[in-house]
Structure 1
Amino acid sequence: MYYIGVDLGTSAAKLLLMDEKGAILNIVSKEYPLFFPKPGWAEQNPEDWMRAVRAGIPELVSGIDRADIAGIGCGGQMHGLVVLDESDRVIRPAILWNDGRTQVETEYLNREIGRERLAALTGNIAFAGFTAPKLLWMRKQEPENFTRIRRIMLPKDYINYCLTGVHATDYSDASGMLLLDVCNKRWSEEMLRICGVAPEQLPRLYESYEAIGTLRPVMAEALGLPETVRVAAGAGDNAAAAIGCGVVGQGGCNISLGTSGTIFLSSERFRADSGNALHSFVHADGGWHFMGCMLSAASCNKWWMDEILRTREYSGEQAGITEERLGRNHVYYLPYLMGERAPHNDPDARSCFIGMTMDTGRETMTQAVLEGVAFGLRDSLEAAKKLGVCPSSSMLCGGGAKSPIWRRILANILNIRLTIPETEQGPGYGGAILAAVACGAYPSVRAAAAALVHVTGTVEPDPLIAARYEEKYRNYRSLYPALRDIFPRL
């Protein structure tokens, strides 16, 4: 049997076809536009996501006996607000995870409702990217649209709704809405009241590996698939990526160098971060996890290469960053292109370079970008250490993980061993694994991950390089506090 995994990303829908032994038979990617209506805003049209999926699946399964396609699972960008009216029409473009317009609403939740109260209700405090502040913003700024809302969902849930007609979400993705009581896996009645949301507007909750339904006849015909294809509830992209890397159960760690950057720490029990730097979310294996998320990771390098250097020769630009240069760079880069989430929770934060001299060249600044992202991930690792969570190794996935020198930089700045999975498809592969479990091919997510996920190599930190980076990290940590009060004036 075959399983389709969908990675509903910020720039494209990446679809893969997996057989029951975990082999990837085909990969198709379909891009769609991203809109920035105002500085700090980010939106997409949900219809564009579905058009990409509808165009991609027939291409993905070309040449395959479609009667053998058993399931579909989706890992999707988190936090995005998708709202439909009573006729199932999209009311407005989706407000995305990296949108920073909700600073007023976020401050209201954290200060007026209170961080302690929010943490008691949801396990988390408010961040600008979360869904609840977006609902408050919409209620205030677009009241006519707000009153038309009949269904509230997250990006990958819109795909699932179009496929099955079932209004559903999973616990991992719902964890990032600030509407879920994460510890008890149920909607928080008080948070719904605060946001002016009725329970019937929200989707039914499922574990990520549960089937929510099968394909609607009209969708089966459009995709050329059997109506019997089961659709798994799926997961938020980071939880799905962790499944795709085999990070399940107690004590696992996964680092993702995607558009955003995350450190993901799995656990079999719920814990909240009293320091509020890390999110406490449900994991797609049925347990929980801590997660530190920086808003701009590989997207920093993409911005630097595409917009500033105006080149697509990514590996060529990194070729001059040799081993002896590591830990000796005098230029620093703050990776706050879209503000920052963990650990600062500051939508006003902005990117900058500091430390340039007359001999600073493009290689030095390219290295600074790679190091700045790694330093940002180190911030989340330090927050985890304060909770007594001290991983000595981690899986590594995401587009940025394909860079050998970036892997070396990251291993030494974090001073942990990095393990590279054989399959680097992250959320898409995780989505396919969840589909396989939903179809009964494996008894649990843990069993599926053990059977299907394999590693291809490791990157060990070098004690001398890691020691040099310790001093550099101390300098890096002093930069944001020094600039924090300046950012809002920019």
Structure 2
Amino acid sequence: MICVAVDLGTTNIKAAAYTESLQRVALVQKGVVYRRTENQVEFDAEDYFETVFDMICGVAKAAIPAEKKERLHIVLTGQAESFVLLDRHMASLGNAVSWMDMRAGAECISIREHFPEQSGFEITGEPAPSPAWPAAKLLWFRRNTPELFAKIRYVLLVKDYVQYRLTGALAGEVSTRGFTYFFDINKKTYWSEMLQFCGISESKLPPLVPCGTVLGEIRPSLCRRIPRCIGAVVNTGVLDHFAGAAGMGITGPGIAGESAGTVLSLTAFVKKPDYHLPTSYHLGLIPDRYMLFSCCDNGGICYDWFKANFIPDMGFAEIEQRLKLRKVEQDLLFFPYIAGTNAPDFEVAGAGIFCGFDFRHDRIDFARAVMESTGFLLRRNIQAIRERGDRLERLISSGGGAASPFWCQLKADICGITIEVPEETEMVCRGAAMVGLVAEGIFPSLERASESGPLKTVPYHPESREQYEKKYSEFERLLTYYKEIKRREGETG
């Protein structure tokens, strides 16, 4: 049996093949193409699925010797908030809508006005609504495209959609529901009052199932197209950040997983939510525990944006080599909330701001300010976790940003915490494969699966924290000033 882990990512889709001993034997990936118009970000759902299936075929061919045939266990992981609207014929009603789409700012305000944030927090596990989430966007469709809205038969998150296309089964895996703002994490059901407000009946949503549910066999017509395959089942898997935590072996206190990818996030296991602190809570892989999840929609996406638009002629390595020769510019700051703000600083809309620059500064200095801003976001989220009373002594970091030694050291210095980077880079796919191998009975638990192949890591210890203390204080001052401006704007309309 070969376990194929598919990461339905925002920037890239990845598929990796693993043996029953958790050895990775193949990996393929491909970028996602978006259609952007003003504050709307969409992608073609059909193209997305075809890319996923082609990658499953490619990784199976690469992993299975030509003279053999194998059964596949396909496990899905990936993003949550992006969704597809289907009509009664199960055809998509236009493009899929990305979580990066910010069209629903006004609708998010309406939700805040109708539902007190604290009560919403205690129901959904989310400290505040966000225009990134389906609840606000569905309300936008209801208000702005009533004819299309009337045709909706199903609302499927992107992982639900891929599951359906592979198997014909409708299922809503619970770890992704918390990112909709219409899921009750305590009752483990959809939040009916929010659905009613958005105009969507529960019958238009997929039935809820636990993480790691085996949905059944892949459609025969698809199975015949996969090279060297004698049968395949599809597993709902789990949210990408939680799969990454499993892949890193994070199941106990004192340690958290950092995702240093398109978005910045922290993941840790906790016994119960604490609704006094602005971090989000979700159902996850261990039945008697919650997943504490602090996520900023801004992270690597800010650096990718900056590089693409201002330093397209340099590679990442060259930029970092030049940065090593520069001192820390205390005056130059970047306020990184381009895609809105999330934990622990929830606002309806954000902004990108450079400040403190003069004629001395060039684009390399600006690149450093963007990279530093990710460290500041990480530090704010570490502080929020510690304010719960939870120990947090070290981080294990994965994702594209973790491949940069310069960036890892910079974050360790800013946060004053040891950051460990596994030599194995694909933690999300590894964790998803572990979920599949447990479902197959090859391992009795995720802990045992993790113990079967302990990770080798490269540590980054804090070395020069003092040079960032003043700069971080300035970042906090700017954030406080910005929040006050947003508050006054809200009062004056």
Mapping for residues 57-456 of structure 1, pairs under 5 Å: 57-63=56-62, 64-65=64-65, 67-124=69-126, 125-224=128-227, 226=229, 228-267=231-270, 269-275=271-277, 277-286=278-287, 287-322=289-324, 325=327, 329-456=330-457
Are residues 410 and 194 of structure 1, via their aligned partners in 2, closer, same or farther at CA, if it must alter by over 3 Å? same
Report if aligned partners of 2:310, 2:363 keep a CA contact under 8 Å in 1: no
Distance 1:30 1:285 in 2: 31
> Is contact 1:14-1:27 (8 Å) kept?
yes
Per-residue CA distance 1:196-249 (angstroms, 9 max, x = gap): 222222112222222122211112123346464221112222112212222224
Which consecutive unaligned segments of at least 5 residues does structure 2 have?
A: none
Q: Distance in 2 between matches of 1:109 and 1:67?
A: 53
Kindly indicate whether the alpha-carbon contact (under 8 Å) linking 1:83 and 1:90 is maintained by their aligned counterparts in 2.
yes
Say if 2:76 and 2:235, in contact at 8 Å, map to a contact too: yes
Q: Which amino acid is 2:145 matched to?
A: E
Question: C-alpha distance in 2, partners of 1:323/1:439?
Answer: 52
**SS of equivalent residue, structure 1 residue 234:** strand
Q: Is the 2:17–2:26 contact (alpha carbons within 8 Å) kept by the matching residues of 1?
A: yes
Q: Is the Cα–Cα contact under 8 Å of residues 214 and 227 in structure 1 kept in the other structure? A: no
Worse overlay, 248-257 or 138-147: 248-257
User: Aligned residue for 2:51?
Assistant: 52
Which residue number corresponds to residue 26 of structure 1?
A: 26
Q: Report how far residue 396 of structure 1 moved.
A: 0.2
Alpha-carbon offset, residue 409 of structure 1: 0.7
Question: Structure 2 CA distance, aligned partners of 1:319 and 1:485?
Answer: 38
- Give 1:450 deviation, angstroms: 2.8
1:16 touches 1:428 (CA, 8 Å); kept in 2?
Answer: yes
* Alpha carbons of structure 1 residues 460 and 256: separation in structure 2 relative to 1, 3 Å: same
Tell me, in whole angstroms, the C-alpha distance in 2 between the residues paired with 1:448 and 1:209: 14
| Distance in 2 between residues matched to 1:324 and 1:152, nearest whole Å | 50
Q: Distance in 2 between matches of 1:434 and 1:301?
A: 32
CA-based RMSD: 2.2
- Offset of residue 453 of structure 1: 4.7
Are residue 469 (structure 1) and residue 472 (structure 2) matched? no
Can you list the C-alpha shifts for 1:299-332, whole angstroms capped at 9, x where unaligned? 2221222211113411111113338835x54311
Distance 1:240 1:12 in 2: 16
CA distance in 1 between partners of 2:251 and 2:370 (Å): 31
- Contact 1:423 1:453 survives alignment (8 Å): no
Post-superposition offset of 1:485: 6.4
Give TM-score scaled by structure 2 length: 0.92
Q: Is the 8 A contact 2:214 2:233 kept in 1?
A: yes
Contact 1:255/1:395 (8 A) holds in 2: yes
Post-superposition Cα deviations, 1:393-451, rounded to whole Å, max 9, x if no partner, equal: 01101101100010001111111111112321132222222222222222222322232
Cα deviation code 1:329-384 (max 9, x no counterpart): 43111112222222333343211221212222333222111101111122222222
Counterpart-to-counterpart distance in 1, 2:380 and 2:40: 25
* AA in 2 matched with 1:311: D
Q: Alpha-carbon deviations, 1:140-181, whole Å to 9, x = none?
A: 112222222222221112111111111112111111111211
User: What amino acid is the match of 2:159?
Assistant: K
| Contact 1:273-1:387 at 8 Å conserved across structures | no
Q: After TM superposition, give the deviation of residue 3 of structure 1 in Å.
A: 0.7
* Structure-1-length-normalised TM-score: 0.93
User: What is the letter of the counterpart of residue 323 of structure 2?
Assistant: I
Question: What stretches of structure 1 of length at least 5 have no aligned partner?
Answer: none
Q: Give the % identical residues.
A: 25
Contact 2:438 2:446 in 1 (8 A): yes
SS of alignment partner, residue 248 of structure 1: coil
Q: Distance in 2 between matches of 1:264 and 1:128?
A: 22
Change (3 A) 1:356 1:471: same
* Partner Cα distance (1:204, 1:228) in 2: 25
